[in-house]
Amino acid sequence: MAVHISSPSHSISFQSHNFPHRFPTSSPLSLSPGSIKSRTPNPRIKKSLGFSCRSSNEDFYIDAPESVGDGFSFSGGKYSIGDGTSPADEWFKKGKFVKAHPVSGTGEKAKDPIFGLTMGGSSQASADLFRWFCVESGSADNPPIILIHGFPSQAYSYRKVLPILAKNYFVIAFDWIGFGFSDKPLPKNGFDYTLDEYVSSLESLIDQLGTSKVSFVVQGYFAPVVVKYASSHQEKINDLILLNPPITAKHASLPSTLSIFSNFLLGEIFSQDPLRASDKALTSAGPYKMKEDDAMVYRRPYLTSGSSGFALNAISRSMKKELKNYIEDMRNTLMDDSWKVQTTVCWGQRDRWLSYDGVVDFCNNSKHRLVELPMVGHYVQEDSGEELGQVIAGLIRKRSFGIS
């Protein structure tokens, strides 16, 4: 994979999968994955974010329980319990639940909107705070990076990025509410899946993780949500890396592969199809060819309970209504002189959903770095996870070494 990094006055090039590199020696942007082999702990970074092991505060940090099928599911939940050796089981074992963001609503039992059947336990909202499935890697003594998946996806998409960054960072990847193994309440039963709710819930999660400074990597259609949060919390953020974000006016409409989930009745039906909701969504966005073992991880939530599909339907409707305004807000934020966070846009140029037209102009006008990834698509971390990990490591500012 060839990578080109540009800024108003500097460029960085990577070539091939092993990333032999050419860096201008005079450029302050000349960062190499190999240049950060050792470090001293940053005194401004907390020693632990709290969920790398069982916390003394049992109300907020808990071990992830077994993945048990329940409630409404077209598959009957038959794939929900494995023998413990599947990739989905192995990934699930790596995670912890972090409780954050208060549950709203009346507390009534959720019922599926199609047949009116009462949903099972894991489809009900938690009694107090939502449970977020998080996977962490690396030493808690190192600067933290939070990897944020796109729509629709899971933290699992960063599985190949985590070990690369964990060599020098404390890395956290989480599932958004409604996705993966996090809580998936039905709309009107604690969470309505509006973009404003995602902003406030992200704030709750970051506060609960307890870090004062963090770097964000966010992919795809959740980028405007993260920028909205970041606009009010710049003091908490070291660096922001956006992977194929919807950033131009042309990006305001969801591709047909995703917008179909927002359709009346048809959306409810298609969102319950694991192949359409996971496999097709991921593989139609670029050149990524999914292995069956990986596909089963993405299918697992949809095979376990209908709550995943109902959440997908709800967030699709919210995206369809709110995305245009959120993109406009994101553009204004990133181009405003008050924005001080080091920001990079990484763009997989084989993205079949979002056009590259206008991205270069935006980065030039906003003076943000642009990393061009010619051989990958919308889900950059899926197409080339190891290489992306090295690119991220080379981009993120090392404050303890005075590199900017």
More confident residue, 396 or 67: 396
- CATH of residue 162's domain is 3.40.50.1820
Domain that holds residue 268: 43-69+80-395
Tell me how many domains the chain contains. 1
- Tell me, yes or no, if the pTM score tops 0.75: yes
State the Cα–Cα distance between residues 213 and 215, nearest whole angstrom.
7
Residue 8 lies in a domain: no
Residue 111 lies in a domain: yes
Residue 24 lies in a domain: no
Looking at the predicted structure, is the pLDDT value of residue 16 above 70?
Answer: no
* Omega prior to 28 cis, within 30 of 0: no
* Beta strand residue intervals within 270-403, DSSP E: 342-348, 369-373
The model's pLDDT over 40-89, given as tens digits with 9 standing for 90+, comes to 333 333 333 333 333 334 344 443 333 344 444 444 444 444 556 788 88
Residue 61 lies in a domain: yes
- Strand pairing of 21-22 and 3-6? unpaired
pLDDT of the residue at 264: 86
Residue 195 lies in a domain: yes
SS3 61: strand
* Beta strand residue intervals within 61-198, DSSP E: 61-63, 96-102, 129-137, 144-148, 170-174
pLDDT of the residue at 242: 98
The model's pLDDT over 287-314, given as tens digits with 9 standing for 90+, comes to 998 899 999 999 999 988 888 998 999 9
The model's pLDDT over 171-206, given as tens digits with 9 standing for 90+, comes to 999 999 999 999 988 887 788 999 999 999 999 999
Looking at the predicted structure, is the pLDDT value of residue 113 above 60?
Answer: yes
Residue 253 lies in a domain: yes
Residue 117 lies in a domain: yes
The model's pLDDT over 348-387, given as tens digits with 9 standing for 90+, comes to 999 999 999 999 999 999 999 999 999 999 999 999 999 9
State the Cα–Cα distance between residues 394 and 390, nearest whole angstrom.
6
Residue 227 lies in a domain: yes
State the Cα–Cα distance between residues 127 and 330, nearest whole angstrom.
34
